[in-house]
Structure 1
Amino acid sequence: MSSSCDPKRAPVGDVGAALMMVDSRIKAVHAGKSATDPEQRESMDQFLASLGANGLDDLLDGACALICMFMTWLRKAHESEGKDVIEYVVPTLVATVRMMPRSCPPPRGRPNDGRAEATAFLLAEHVNRNADNPESATRMIMDALTSAGGEGSQPR
């Protein structure tokens, strides 16, 4: 019997919107802009407001789907080198997320969304560094979406 927490039973959400947010944040950071930049904050607030309540839930589910996909890729990459992903990725990720309120404040009124976005962002950056390519994480997700039949399908 499968668990109700099994990833196969989890909603995929709006992976495309979550990927757009993560990719946008990565590009902004590389351009020297922070989440507290007034222009960045206004743009993000407008985007989030346009989603509505159901859209925000779908965005959160999409961010969680990205986290699952990035961790799967990182696990496979580390296992191929005889390393444990828990030992090499998770401690740094957790420590960094704890510091994120200063550099990546959560969206107003929905703190869990901010944590999921920050986690997806950090994992995407980790994937990019491991692949030595600043667009590797975005390309990996886009390839998975394409092979799965589009954004509405469960990534494989």
Structure 2
Amino acid sequence: MSASLDPAYAPIGDVGTALLLVDSRLAQLAREDPTPDPEKCDLVERTLESFGPKAAQDVLDGACTLMYLYVDWLRKSLEAHGQDPMEYIVPYVASGLRAMRKSVKPEAIPTMVGMLTACVLGLSPTLWRRRYGQWLEAEMNALEASLVLLADRINNLTEDPNAASRMIVELLNVIDEQFGK
């Protein structure tokens, strides 16, 4: 593995806030009427706008950490069943992103495919993305949508609507216990 892209050298970021964004989007999609709640959207927007550049970067790093963890779980699950994770994870998310024509710009999809491929190969999506320049505004919705697709896939495979979120919360709890924040 290239040491320059090894996940051990990647910042973890603000996984909690990234998870909150994904979880709220999953909850919205699970409702009978998935129309966004304007009050919740406003709250999320105000929260995100209150972040300075450092905090915003931390949330992006946290989102990349979530991507890595979700893909790692899916990769291990697929490999345990003799399936090629590259064959199932990357096309699944790419086709989902292509179907979201109103919220995901086509030019952002190749970046997400690259990040997902890095994850499947055991490389850090954070460090992979940094190698190729600054984040683009068009990639923000694509990153969020990718995370929602991955989390939803985990939830569907486990037949548990909270499996992906619970997995991350449990991991964060273990880290808190070991390193005592």
Residue pairs, 1:1-156, within 5 angstroms? 2-31=2-31, 32-34=33-35, 38-103=38-103, 110-149=137-176
Q: Percent identity?
A: 38
Q: What is the CA–CA distance in structure 2 between the aligned matches of 1:45 and 1:69, rounded to whole Å?
A: 25
Secondary structure of the 2:4 match is coil
Query: 5+ residue gaps in structure 2?
Result: 109-135
Which range moves more in the overlay, 85-94 or 20-29? 85-94
Q: Which deviates the most, 83-92 or 111-120?
A: 111-120
Partners of 1:131 and 1:104 in 2: CA distance: 27
Query: 2:97–2:104: 8 Å Cα contact kept in structure 1?
Result: no
1:20 maps to a residue whose letter is L
Residue 50 of structure 1 aligns with an amino acid whose one-letter code is: S
Q: Does the Cα contact within 8 Å between 1:34 and 1:104 map onto a contact in 2?
A: no
Relative distance call for 1:39 and 1:103 in structure 2 (3 A) is farther
Q: What is the deviation of 1:148?
A: 1.9
Aligned mates of 1:58, 1:101 — CA distance in 2: 28
> What letter corresponds to residue 137 of structure 2 in structure 1?
R
CA RMSD of aligned residues (A): 2.5
Aligned length: 149
Q: Within 2, Cα distance between the matches of 1:52 and 1:83?
A: 42
Provide the rounded CA distance (Å) in 2 between the counterparts of 1:34 and 1:11.
34
**TM-score under structure 1 normalisation?**
0.83
CA–CA separation in structure 1 for the residues paired with 2:44 and 2:100:
17
Distance 2:155 2:104 in 1: 19
State the alpha-carbon separation in 2 of the partners of residues 2 and 86 from structure 1.
Answer: 19
Q: Distance in 1 between matches of 2:86 and 2:97?
A: 15
Is the CA contact (8 Å cut-off) linking 1:15 and 1:63 kept in structure 2? Answer: yes
User: 2: CA distance between counterparts of 1:51 and 1:75?
Assistant: 33
Query: What SS class does the counterpart of residue 51 from structure 2 fall into?
Result: helix
